[in-house]
Structure 1
Amino acid sequence: MKENKMGTMEMKKLILTMSFPIMISMLVQALYNIVDSMFVARVSETALAAVSLCYPIQMILVAVACGTGVGVNALLSRYLGEKRYKEANQIALHGIFLALCNWIVFAILGIFFSEAFLRLFSSDEQILQMGIHYMKICTIFSFGVFVQITYERIMQSTGNTIYNMIIQGVGALINIILDPIFIFGYFGLPAFGVTGAAIATVIGQIIAMIIGIVITQKKIKEVKVHPKEWKFDMQLIGKIYRISFPAILMQSIMSFMTVFMNMILIPFSALAVSVFSIYYKLQQFVFMAVLGMNNALIPIISYNYGARKKERILEAIRFSLLISTLIMAIGTIIFQLFPKELLYLFDAKENMLAIGIPALRIISISFIFAGVSMVLCSVFQALGHANQSLYITLLRQLILLIPLTWGMAQSFGLDTSWIAFIITEVVCAGLSILILQRIKRKTIMKIN
């Protein structure tokens, strides 16, 4: 079989051609998260607060799906680089099996624990009822997003990323179209409000899942996904989760960070919680572009590590850091120049602008440093050093950030507390560079 393009194509071209479709698909994904909130904000501030409180659970759900996909992606790419095609097929089949298992777990949690979770943050019955309906729908029907993401990672591992753009683009477009229909009640439908936003979300995910299954079966030749050939292998699941578990924790940490930030901000006002939720969704436009590149970078480095191509690995790292810095610099400029216009997207009034404008301008200074850590964490995962990624992410999202934010908020007030993001990202970028130098000596430079 002819060698995959990940081992032969000029590296800059390879990264750009593989990254661009994933970036577009993830930016579309970020767009529909924002559109959801934009429509919900026009229902009421209470509705926006309900969806904002549910958002960490949605993030954890996606973290488990994407984190499991990282293990599937990295192993699949490595086996393809080593020409071990039977093992690669089994990795793909076990990835689908794990996606279904994860869905069952979240469906059970959503049915029985949605109310208990939301009562941690609010006693407002209107917010609670809206949030419970929203969360139950998103978890019970989450099989769509779990299976969709698994098939996307299977495609990425073979170097086919254009299909990711199609899958996520169609799913997001359907969600955006259905949002106002279900939320406000068009074409004879009743106005479902927040519940309508959840219905639109899961319909988009399920349709995207179906498209992913069809494309993989018809277009992806390197990996054969035939359920009849699946043979349960606990060792294989162990291999997947040795890579996936740190990745799941890394992405879940973002959800826990949001929960803790909500706890820090709620004493100031419920509006502060909504502002942070809005910031988080806005910054996804910037961060998702880098994450899209990272999703391409992991299989590229894994493949070339399996194929023992040292110079290609080093070139991939250098070029990815350059692209990340450029993307984050553009994001910083936009947040510095247009914070008011960004907040107006969410029907912001003067009290929200007073909190939101300083938050967006201060936090965005940290973007470039965050980009360095994000790229290098993906490099560590691809080279089999997933624990180092976990350590850096723990520092970025919890161990440094939360105590710093709390301490500065208590001592100096809400506006000053955002400086904690800058301090945290500078420290973690420096540590990431030091870890990279050690891994280069012990892993990359020893490749013959």
Structure 2
Amino acid sequence: MSDNNHYSNKSILKMIIVLAIPAVIENFFQTILGFVDTFFVAQIGINEVTAVGVSNAILAIYFAVFMSIGISTNVFIAKYNGAKEYEKAEKMAQQSIILSIITGLIFGVITLIFAELLLRLMGIEDTVLEQGVLYFKIVAIPSVLISLMFGLSSILRGTKDTKTPMKVTILINIINIILDYVLIFGFWFIPSLGIAGAAWATVIARLIGVIILFYHVKKSSVGSKINFTNWSWDKELQKELIQLGTPAMAERLAMRIGQVLYFGFIVKLGTETFAAHQIAGNIEIFSYMIGYGFATAATTLVGEMIGSKQYEFAKKTAYYSTALGVGFMSIFGLFLFLFGEWTATFFTNDNEVIQQIAIALKIDAFIQPILAVVLILTGVFQGAENSKYPLYLTTIGIWLIRTVGVYVLGIWLGMGIAGIWIAIGLDNLFRAVLLFRKIHKNQWINKNRIKLSLE
């Protein structure tokens, strides 16, 4: 094993913070954008809100594919930079752009041909279908913009630049909010476009984001040497991208499918309980911004350190990233415990629903540090090119432990909302323990791809 004293504890902590904070801020603005979009569309009518919501549920599947390419890109560019294989990092960046374009175009064609069928499969009502098809086609036919946003941002993150994606996200969110108002309601000589205006605002903002990101990638350490006149397909590098990205994509899809499975049980507990669960989840989503921010930092740094054969420092980075994430998310958990009921009043005036939300968030307060371990160590495993293990744990955890737990605790034992969130906690505890155990026993790096000895 080649392990030089290249990193001090202080420098590792500093690198994690420097990379994680911009990623957390970026996630925050992406989350806020969803709330603002919903607010503006809600001013048009409930049918439009439903149309956007169902369309976004389908887009979440698209995102899972595009994000998987981004994860692979981040890992490999960080690894090749760490190994000082700069030419390979440059080629990987170029191949990532090619794969993002092709994948985005494929999903655009799927949307063009099957938009109505996909919305019907989601159970959309006929009264909403026309609006849904209109919105979905405008937003998703140019899916290449979405895939390039993920791909280009990941290239920059692989070079340890998380600030540029953050700045671009903030800028396009501001543009989107302004365009939402102008295009939905009309302004001066611009007519009111309604739900189509919301869709076009999103597309224009993404187009601007892609242009800016592409400019920064060309200026980056890997992009400045890319031969943009030669876009040849490299079979071996594409194979690496797809092999690592596929399990990451499958893990996110397993999560989505698992949610559908146990949502059916929650519906049986009544409208109030389902509403309370949904609102509690919308409040909890802010904690994911923290977890995913530190996961992004961990993925990048672990990939780079493994590339430079700094295996023990990679492991230390995994521990430090997790510890910092646990600390920050525990603070958020304390907020949920103390102010969860107050926060719920911003979403509903129904006292029964508010009380159920308060119960859910008090339980969730204790889940927060466990969730931090799951999110960040999943990023660590991906940085170590071992994305299959988190997939297995997520599938078992969501489909078996969480789904069965929701039924047994929530319905059979009559614990209601408390049973639901205890089941969620047990699922996360299961995954956290096994992920940490693998790290502790030095069984977390994909040894089939990376030649090393950690014993």
TM-score, L = length of structure 1: 0.88
- Answer yes or no: is the 8 Å Cα contact 1:41–1:347 preserved in 2: no
Q: 1:11 to 1:105 in 2, by over 3 A?
A: same
1:288-299 to 2 correspondences below 5 Å: 288-299=289-300
Instruction: Name the aligned partner's letter for residue 134 of structure 2.
Output: H
Q: Give CA-to-partner distance per residue, 1:151-201, whole Å, 9 cap, x none.
A: 111111111221111111112222222233334444454544444333322
- State the 1:349 CA deviation: 5.0
- State the 1:240 CA deviation: 0.9
Q: In the alignment, which residue of structure 1 is the partner of 2:453?
A: 446
Q: In the alignment, which residue of structure 1 is the partner of 2:171?
A: 170
Instruction: Name the aligned partner's letter for residue 428 of structure 1.
Output: R
Gaps of 5+ in 1: 1-5
- Answer yes or no: is the 8 Å Cα contact 2:78–2:158 preserved in 1: yes
Gaps of 5+ in 2: 1-5
Q: In the alignment, which residue of structure 2 is the partner of 1:108?
A: 109
Q: In the alignment, which residue of structure 2 is the partner of 1:201?
A: 202
- Answer yes or no: is the 8 Å Cα contact 2:77–2:93 preserved in 1: yes
Pick aligned residue for 2:429 from 414, 426, 429: 426
Deviates more, 1:10-19 or 1:173-182: 173-182
Q: 1:123 to 1:162 in 2, by over 3 A?
A: closer
1:294-333 to 2 correspondences below 5 Å: 294-333=295-334
Deviates more, 1:48-57 or 1:328-337: 48-57
Q: 1:263 to 1:55 in 2, by over 3 A?
A: farther
1:43-442 to 2 correspondences below 5 Å: 43-122=44-123, 124-187=125-188, 189-220=190-221, 224-266=225-267, 276-346=277-347, 349=350, 353=354, 356-411=357-412, 412=414, 414-415=416-417, 416-440=419-443
Q: 1:61 to 1:96 in 2, by over 3 A?
A: same
- State the 1:14 CA deviation: 0.9
Q: 1:44 to 1:229 in 2, by over 3 A?
A: same
SS of match in other structure, 2:288: helix
Q: 1:139 to 1:339 in 2, by over 3 A?
A: same
- Answer yes or no: is the 8 Å Cα contact 2:135–2:195 preserved in 1: yes
Deviates more, 1:339-348 or 1:432-441: 339-348
- State the 1:424 CA deviation: 1.1
Deviates more, 1:331-340 or 1:380-389: 331-340
Deviates more, 1:88-97 or 1:212-221: 212-221
Q: In the alignment, which residue of structure 2 is the partner of 1:3?
A: none
Q: 1:234 to 1:441 in 2, by over 3 A?
A: closer
- Answer yes or no: is the 8 Å Cα contact 2:183–2:192 preserved in 1: yes
In structure 2, C-alpha distance between the alignment counterparts of 1:50 and 1:351, rounded to whole Å: 28
- State the 1:270 CA deviation: 6.7
Q: 1:276 to 1:51 in 2, by over 3 A?
A: farther
SS of match in other structure, 1:60: helix
- Answer yes or no: is the 8 Å Cα contact 1:61–1:106 preserved in 2: yes
Instruction: Name the aligned partner's letter for residue 430 of structure 1.
Output: V
- Answer yes or no: is the 8 Å Cα contact 2:54–2:132 preserved in 1: yes
In structure 2, C-alpha distance between the alignment counterparts of 1:258 and 1:251, rounded to whole Å: 11
- Answer yes or no: is the 8 Å Cα contact 1:56–1:256 preserved in 2: no
In structure 1, C-alpha distance between the alignment counterparts of 2:272 and 2:120, rounded to whole Å: 18
Q: Give CA-to-partner distance per residue, 1:302-358, whole Å, 9 cap, x none.
A: 111111113321321121111111122122222233334434544665575465444
Q: In the alignment, which residue of structure 1 is the partner of 2:3?
A: none
SS of match in other structure, 1:37: helix
Q: Give CA-to-partner distance per residue, 1:350-390, whole Å, 9 cap, x none.
A: 57546544444434432221111111111112112221121
- State the 1:80 CA deviation: 1.5
CA RMSD of aligned residues (A): 3.0
- State the 1:110 CA deviation: 2.3
- Answer yes or no: is the 8 Å Cα contact 2:442–2:454 preserved in 1: no
Aligned length: 443
SS of match in other structure, 2:204: helix
TM-score, L = length of structure 2: 0.87
In structure 1, C-alpha distance between the alignment counterparts of 2:374 and 2:241, rounded to whole Å: 23
- Aligned-residue identity in percent: 23
- State the 1:437 CA deviation: 2.5
SS of match in other structure, 2:225: coil
Q: In the alignment, which residue of structure 1 is the partner of 2:19?
A: 18
Q: 1:11 to 1:388 in 2, by over 3 A?
A: same
- State the 1:11 CA deviation: 0.7
Q: Give CA-to-partner distance per residue, 1:201-244, whole Å, 9 cap, x none.
A: 22222211111001111344576333223331222111111111
